[in-house]
Amino acid sequence: MRILMVCLGNICRSPTAEAALREAAAEAEVDVEVDSAGTGAWHVGNAPDERMTAAADEVGLCLAGAARQVTSEDLGDHDLVLAMDRENLRDLRALSPPDLPAGRIRLFREFDPEGPDEDVPDPYYGGARGFADVVTMTRRTARELVRRIDAGEL
């Protein structure tokens, strides 16, 4: 299964969700390919945000890669495209080709047992605690997503 994580700039939430999903899949020995991208182009080529990287490092989660902007081709090339919030979900749906299978683009926290109707909050302009909270919720959500993949529910 190929999964794409998407947030606004691809430097905070989506690279963290990407790393969390890689971690959860490796622990469960579930085969997934994971990537991330942003709906905006402001940070293309940049490494993940230093504050997000530091929060992830504190709990042993390694962020890597460089920001890139999502393309309509990405939507067709991935089995599941997970938006970090509703604004990005709307943008992804607007970008998607009309023949894209229903249910391919979804909200990431739909898989979070503690907040299935919630967005992953953007910590970029907030305090340091927000980065740690994003790490916690993405790891929890990634574990549940991997459990569902492994159970054949996706």
Q: Which is the catalytic residue, given 12, 13, 35, 74?
A: 13
Instruction: For residue 13, indicate whether it is catalytic.
Output: yes
Q: Which is the catalytic residue, given 7, 22, 119, 140?
A: 7
Instruction: For residue 109, indicate whether it is catalytic.
Output: no
Closest CA to 151 of 69, 12, 15, 28: 28
**Are residues 59 and 21 in contact, defined by beta-carbon separation less than 8 angstroms?**
no
Question: 120-140: buried (b, 16+ CB within 10 Å) or exposed (e) per residue?
Answer: bebbbeeeeebbbbbbebbbb
Burial of 81 (0-12, 13-18, 19+ CB in 10 A): buried
Residue 25 main-chain phi, psi, to 5 deg:
-65, -40
Q: Between β-strands 33-38 and 80-83, what pairing exists: parallel, antiparallel or unpaired? A: unpaired
Q: Kind and range of the H or E element at 3? A: strand 2-7
Instruction: For residue 35, indicate whether it is catalytic.
Output: no
Q: Which is the catalytic residue, given 35, 74, 85, 122?
A: 122
Query: Which are the catalytic amino acids?
Result: 7, 13, 122
